[in-house]
Each structure stands twice: as C-alpha cells, then as structure tokens.
Structure 1
C-alpha cells in the first residue's frame, strides 16, 4: 500500500497485520479523493479527522494532496504503531495521533474545526455509531459549518437517507460501490 498522489506520492504505508483493520484499497482511495476534490475544489487548508484510522491511509493521502492538518483516531495497539511509522513523512505540526476509542471519547480539539471527516469503521459498526460520533463532534464545535463526511461501509447498507444522518442535517452528495464496499459522501447543511 502506497500514497497515490501529491507530496508523498509513492511512499509506502504500513498496515496492521490480521483482520482487525481493513485498509482502503488504492482504486477506492483514488476515487474517493477525486470525489472529495470535486466537492471541495481544493485540499488547501483542510483540517481532517481520520476516525477509526487503522493505517491512516486516508488522512495521509489528504495531507499528501495539501491538507493542512490531520488527526488520526485509533485504539488498536498495532494500528497505533503503524500510524506512528506512517505519519513520520509529514511535519509533526501537521499530524496528531489520538489513542482514543472515538465511539466513547472525542479526539483533542483542533486549532480549527474539522472540515473533512473520514469514517471507515469495522463493518460491524452501524450507522447509529457513526451518527453518534458526528453528533458529539458537532455539539463540541469540532465540525466546520460545511464539513464533508466520507463514510465507508458494507455495500449492503444504504445510509443515503438514514434517519440518524437526516437528523444531523447531513445532505447526501454521492454513493459509489466497489464490490462489497460502499462509499457515501455527505455535507452538513448550513442552517
């Protein structure tokens, strides 16, 4: 697994062994990054939260393409070790590794609200878990008014109009399927 594009293009990424994490494959990651670029128009200045980070491939890809800062949340010890190795290529002030179970505790408050959030939790976690984390982040003032939220999940789940996301005033932008994986992109609706 390698960084696909940008400043760190071609650099390898270490992934935890076993089945506790499921790194996003290159073609899916490339498609997601293109979709986000279309929705945002630029990567410059982006504050990124990589929840359930695993190897940190999504956050590192965003940093490589010009994001300002990325916070990586992970609780698995082996994944945390991989994150420590993978984030070395970026300047220390651009990254933060938070050893937290984001389902139970929020990450450290960033200097600026997150305007891009990646959710790639274990497929056993339902929409209600992701919505619960988003609600707590929003209540803590940690989400920008027009935050983009990427949610990678089992393709058998259609969350495009999930009541949990509708209640959070999230507008569904797009859904793409790759075999048994689906990526949904949402934007918080401005009040």
Structure 2
C-alpha cells in the first residue's frame, strides 16, 4: 500500500497485520481519485473527512494531492495508532486530526465544532450495515453541504440504495468485488426513487 500521487508519492504506508482492516486496493484508489479529479478538479484547499479510516490510506492520498486538512475517524485504537504513524511517514501530522470514536458518535461530536467538509470518504467493513446507517446520518449532518462530495466504498454484493434523503448518488462504479458510489446533496423537491 503506497501513496499514488502528489507530494508524498511513492511513500509506503503501514498496514495492520490483522485481517480486520481492508485497505482500499491501489487500482481502486487510483480509479477513485481519477474520477474525483475529473469531477472536482484539483483537491487544493479542501477539507477531508475519512470515516472508518483504517490505515488513513484515502485521506492521506487526498492530503498528498493538495487537500488542506483531514480528519480521520476510526473506532479501533490500533487503527488510530497506524493512522498516526502513516501521518508521520508522510509528514502530514500538522494537517490532520485523528478521532478514536464510532462513526455515528464522531459525526455528532464533529458537528459541534467543524465546518462542512468538501470530501467525505466512507469505507466501512463490508456487509455489516454500516454504509447505509452512516449515509443516513450524513444526509442530515451539518458536516455535509452542497459543496460536499461523499465517496462510499462497499461490497458489490451489497444492495445499497442510491438515495438517502437529500444525499443522492450521481455515479456508481464496480471494480471486482468493490463498488464505489459518489453522492452529493440535491435541493430538488422531488427525491430520486
């Protein structure tokens, strides 16, 4: 697992020895960021929220590509330590915050002091129902606004809806057993089915 592009390009990131964490494969990460760049242009000055961060792989890639600041959320202390080490390896400790908390609780806590994020990564364990639950929470959270893009990664076998209140899927791609969904806020009175 490595940083693909930007100022930290080529740096190898630490991954846990356990199978509990499933880092995003480099080919999926490369496709994901290619799509993001075509949608958003450069990531310069963006604020990033990396939920179920695991190793910090996605948020660190965003920092390497110019994001201003990233908040990494994971409920496991082991993952938080790995994220901190990976931030040290890439020299991004001053542009990041690590929150050891369950995602739903973290969203409530962050909503008290953080302004909306430009980019939210959601990469929970597959098949445990976290994706839908957290997308529902994000759809009403003040951490997400019309300028936010949410990228959710989940098993291609999961039946994930394409709409969560005001949060609507604009595109979904499948890479092997991994599906990647891009969602944004819509103000349309009629919601997508």
Query: What TM-score do the two structures reach when normalised by structure 2?
Result: 0.87
**Which residue matches 1:150?**
151
**Which residue matches 1:183?**
180
- Partner deviation per Cα, 1:140-169 (whole Å, 9 max, x = no partner): x2223221011100101243xx2xx63422
Provide the rounded CA distance (Å) in 1 between the counterparts of 2:171 and 2:132: 19
Q: Is the 8 A contact 2:49 2:120 kept in 1?
A: yes
Residue correspondence of structure 1 range 136-147 to structure 2 within 5 A: 138=141, 141-147=142-148
**1:132–1:6 Cα change, 3 Å:** same
**Which residue matches 1:11?**
11
Provide the rounded CA distance (Å) in 2 between the counterparts of 1:48 and 1:108: 12
**Which residue matches 1:117?**
120
Residue correspondence of structure 1 range 1-191 to structure 2 within 5 A: 1-88=1-88, 89-106=90-107, 107-109=109-111, 112-126=115-129, 127-135=131-139, 138=141, 141-159=142-160, 162=161, 166-190=163-187
Q: Which runs of 5+ in 2 are unaligned?
A: 189-193
What's the C-alpha RMSD, in Å, of the aligned pairs? 1.8
Query: What TM-score do the two structures reach when normalised by structure 1?
Result: 0.88
- Partner deviation per Cα, 1:46-83 (whole Å, 9 max, x = no partner): 11000000000000000000011100001112211110
126-135 vs 12-21, which moves further: 126-135
52-61 vs 16-25, which moves further: 16-25
Q: Is the 8 A contact 2:56 2:72 kept in 1?
A: yes
The 3-state SS of whatever aligns with 1:79 is helix
Spell out structure 1 runs of 4+ moving beyond 6 A. Answer: none
Q: Is the 8 A contact 1:172 1:186 kept in 2?
A: yes
Q: Which runs of 5+ in 1 are unaligned?
A: none
The 3-state SS of whatever aligns with 1:87 is helix
